[in-house]
Amino acid sequence: MKRLPPAILACAIVVLAGSRAAAAEDLMDVYREAQRNDPSVAAARANWQATQERVPQARAGLLPNVTLSANTNANYFGTNLDSDPHVGVNRNFGFGGLTVSASQPLYRYANSVAYNQAVEQVRQADYTLESARQDLILRVATAYFDVLLAQFNVGLAESQKAAVSEQLAQAKRNFEVGVATITDTNEAQAKYDSIVAQEITARNDLENKRTALRAIIGRFPTDLKRLGPGFEPTLPSPNTLDAWVDRALADNLAVRVAQYNADIATLEIERQRAGHLPTLDLVASANAQGFNASVNTNAAGEQHQVAIGLALTVPLYQGGFVDSKVREAVALQENARQNLEVARRNALFSAQTGFTGVMSAAASVRAFEQALVSAQSAYESNKTGQEVGVRTNLDVLNTQQNVFQTRRDLAQAYFNYLIGVLRLKAAVGTLSEQDLEDVNRRLRG
């Protein structure tokens, strides 16, 4: 296949649509800022931190529980007997006590299952957080390249308007000297007006894309580095769809999270069924009481008591509450199982569309490179034909329009390929910052 000449390729690649300062931000700069400012990732990180506490909370149900209670009272007792002789008793005295109680679960199956659930939830949280991180990578890359493509389209519209403006001026001159008809002028004017409308649309789209990136990093982006020359798309490795589908079904993060949900739901059935089981605890208490008098005596004293034993609780009837909770848990397990199947099917779809998307984008890049060569040749030929009178002004305008459209399609194919590679890796759960670094190395200031 005939390769694209460097001069034409330079026009097609976004990096060369305009000069940029050396201080332009690259993809990793934007990503680092998104890590600090994106609320979705911040929320996911906070949720991960909260989930880490599930294990110590569940472990507490298996460990001793010790309580201390104390009380003290100041008492006044007064009585009068209307008798002969008169009898009256008035007395102040104090009373206080201190109790330490402890219990150690010996058999509480529901607590053991709850601990296993907590362990699964903590493991699941790791994949949930990683999923949020991978989603951020995709959102940043998509928003970044959306801005670049929108900037390219604005630049392309400006270049196209300038080129059509020249054709319009030439058509007017030719009409004035009588070598062309008014039709040529009208056609060129119509093309120019259409390009002006396209430029307005392109500028509006650029503002929308910049706003989308602002929603991620918390500010409007400044100058962004653009795609550099020497772009050569490579095919996925391994280059077989089945390999990627198998990896997606096993390692896709949504599948892993859904699998943990299903496992936790299964444990929940066990935990609810444990409501029918007895519980056995080792209990102990120590009590000390002291008083400095009483109603009947002025003597002070104290009392001590220590007790240790076993406490057995056997549920006999709870109004059907446990059975209802078990039925609820079974229904929720089925819900989790179906959600797991949905996650697997989505993973399969993502892997398949991701793989074919990369293959298609790579082929499109090569095809549009060749199409641009052909479009440029057709434009040059028609321009020469116009000069010798065998082609009309409309022919030149149409072929010129085709050159600009092919440049736009080629730029879109570049970005489709880069985003497609990231999406394919996300489908199999392997997308990382290193993949973003690999894309970033293609950028130039």
CATH number at residue 343: 1.20.1600.10
What's the pLDDT score for residue 3?
A: 44
Q: How many CB atoms lie within 10 A of CB 136?
A: 19
Tell me the pLDDT tens digit for each residue of 77-135.
Answer: 777 776 666 666 666 778 889 999 999 999 999 999 999 999 999 999 999 999 999 99
* 107, 280 Cβ separation under 8 angstroms: yes
Q: How confident is the model at residue 4 (pLDDT cuts 50, 70, 90)?
A: very low
**Domain count within the chain:** 1
Please state, rounded to an integer, the average pLDDT across all residues of the chain: 87
Residue 51 lies in a domain: yes
Assign residue 302 a region (left: φ > 0; alpha: ψ between -120 and 50; beta: otherwise): beta
What's the pLDDT score for residue 282?
A: 96
* 12, 4 Cβ separation under 8 angstroms: yes
Residue 392 lies in a domain: yes
Residue 234 lies in a domain: yes
Q: How confident is the model at residue 177 (pLDDT cuts 50, 70, 90)?
A: confident
Residue 1 lies in a domain: no
What's the pLDDT score for residue 11?
A: 45
DSSP characters over 104-132: EEEE-HHHHHHHHHHHHHHHHHHHHHHHH
Query: Which of 33-47, 156-170, 246-260, 338-352 has the lowest average pLDDT?
Result: 156-170
Tell me the pLDDT tens digit for each residue of 199-257.
Answer: 999 999 999 999 999 999 988 888 898 887 777 888 998 899 999 999 999 999 999 99
- Which of 73-87, 305-319, 399-413 ranks highest by mean pLDDT? 305-319
Domain that holds residue 109: 6-444
Residue 358 lies in a domain: yes
Mean pLDDT of 363-371: 92
Q: Which one-letter amino acid corresponds to residue 424?
A: L
